[in-house]
Amino acid sequence: MAAYAIAGYALAMLLNVFFPHVLATIALRQYMPGTATALLFNLPVCSMLLYVGVQDGSISTDKFAWFGPASVAVILASIPVLFFIGRKARPAFLRIGIPLP
């Protein structure tokens, strides 16, 4: 199960290279923060992680075909929840002197 959780996360990070980083850089015709990191680190590491997992049998393509997209969906669904928690927690952090952007 852990291999599929990591593979699902790797798929999400691999997709994140292209949406929004590379896509935004191309569409806006200017460098978007995070694009270099995504291309230099996330793309090769996540690609290799998925490739090796499938090649050595740690990840079955049949199971990953549903687990991967499900993981991506859960991660995407968690983004608004995390922003909500961040908005609610911000005053408490500021009260105790932790500066936030």
What tens digit of pLDDT does each residue of 52-75 get?
Answer: 999 999 999 999 999 999 999 999
Residue 99: what pLDDT? 86
Q: How far is CA 48 from the centre of its chain?
A: 15
Q: How many CB atoms lie within 10 A of CB 16?
A: 18
Q: Answer yes or no: are the C-beta atoms of 50 and 72 closer than 8 Å.
A: no
CA dist list (Å): 32 to 13, 17, 24: 16, 11, 7
Q: Answer yes or no: are the C-beta atoms of 41 and 10 closer than 8 Å.
A: no
Residue with the two structure tokens 């969906």: 73
